[in-house]
Structure 1
């Protein structure tokens, strides 16, 4: 076994093999599922090198060349490798050489748009960790026109029945369409927010992850991401165009039109007396 000060930590090694995030790999180590050089290892501080023999579930694992792709998910397929209901999955659109990649987060069956798949466990952890607050922007169409008060609710937080969900930015496009940016990852968050506002989503498309956009990528297609694009996913841009600030405007208008508070004044006689002096 290699010296603990050499090589890389065991969880990082496992993540580089495409096993999962470092946190997920820590759990596998704690459960005693990882064997290093013939011995079960539960030491989270252990370091290994390429010369060590690492096994998971009695199968040797080796670092893979990391690959990350951007997939434009069409409506009607689910984000899973094996679906118990035998529905079409996103992997039907990918060649056999990419079947080992794991989707980062998910889009529900009726949603469309950008989805990242990778075997880089560390990158997957960065993109999904709540503290990183990686933005995701969606184009939303609902079944009916709505007032700006609904957008206010989304910005200030709306109770979905399980938690209070917030929009980071929101921009109205038409009576029934808007762009919404979130940096949290609650399950079906936008659909639940709309439902709480008595709206039904008719179309939901993820159009941005961090600063990365589709740039002409057609539905059902994918492209391999280079290092520059991977970095773009981790950087949130400043909001472009005019975002919704209806509440602030109304408060300002109300403040301008409000009548000044009446001050107590002296009686008329005393005022006249004062003027004469």
Structure 2
């Protein structure tokens, strides 16, 4: 059965489809010694290489990890140009990549895996998967802060989707998002005149953070099973 080259690289755990598309566009992927076009399909008989190195489907099962990312670690697979990258920080023996991002000044839960297909399905727009954060800002919250944040804030030429917000202290709150706009919480707070001084993600979907800062663990079988269940309604991208 023929498979698109970006999907193949994702399914064998080499990289995400988005990253595969970038590699193809840069001419770093070859099929039987030829540079393919975007969307080219391959069969079991085809030989695929990236940067001249052959790609073979790994015999090992995929790995699924949860990390409590410290402040200062960068969510990137660019291990050559970013010394504080998340890949070197974990130093896992398998080739893995992060699912989504947490910016450098933020900390908390982030998932990593060798399974490019699940990366695609979790990141796919419209899946409405929950992500929960605890945030501290630089001054006491105004009485209408929670209402304004939960109803939607105009940033990045759109209005943020209504979300659940709960005040925790004079300067802190809990927020559950189903969006993933760039630096969304920081931008929402800035619009209301606040600066985020601490941002920690404590949950992604059904996965709760239960590790010390800087530590990671494998996802438990029951956690992975529930993720697969939550994703079952997601249309598989092609």
Superposition TM-score tier, normalisation by shorter sequence: 0.7 to 0.9
Deviation, structure 1 residue 114: 0.4
Provide the C-alpha distance between the structure 2 equivalents of 1:34 and 1:67, rounded to a whole number of angstroms: 24
1:121 aligns with 2:116: yes
Which is helix-richer, 1 or 2?
1
Structural mapping, 1:215-226, within 5 Å: 216-226=210-220
Provide the C-alpha distance between the structure 2 equivalents of 1:204 and 1:167, rounded to a whole number of angstroms: 19
Deviation, structure 1 residue 193: 0.6
- Say which of 110, 130, 153 aligns to 2:105: 110
Structure 2 SS opposite 1:132: coil
Aligned to 1:145: 140
- The 1:40–1:110 alpha-carbon spacing in structure 2 relative to 1, beyond 3 Å, is closer
| Contact 1:210-1:232 within 8 A present in 2 as well | no
1:58 aligns with 2:52: yes
| Contact 2:21-2:38 within 8 A present in 1 as well | no
Provide the C-alpha distance between the structure 2 equivalents of 1:25 and 1:95, rounded to a whole number of angstroms: 22
1:195 aligns with 2:190: yes
Provide the C-alpha distance between the structure 2 equivalents of 1:52 and 1:161, rounded to a whole number of angstroms: 43
Q: Which has the higher contact order (CA 8 A, sep 6+)?
A: 2
- The 1:63–1:226 alpha-carbon spacing in structure 2 relative to 1, beyond 3 Å, is farther
Provide the C-alpha distance between the structure 1 equivalents of 2:86 and 2:26, rounded to a whole number of angstroms: 31
Provide the C-alpha distance between the structure 2 equivalents of 1:85 and 1:22, rounded to a whole number of angstroms: 22
Compute the RMSD of aligned alpha carbons: 2.8
Provide the TM-score with structure 2 as the length reference. Answer: 0.81
Provide the C-alpha distance between the structure 2 equivalents of 1:76 and 1:43, rounded to a whole number of angstroms: 35
Return 5+ residue gaps in structure 1 as ranges.
1-5, 237-277
Larger radius of gyration: 1
Aligned length: 227
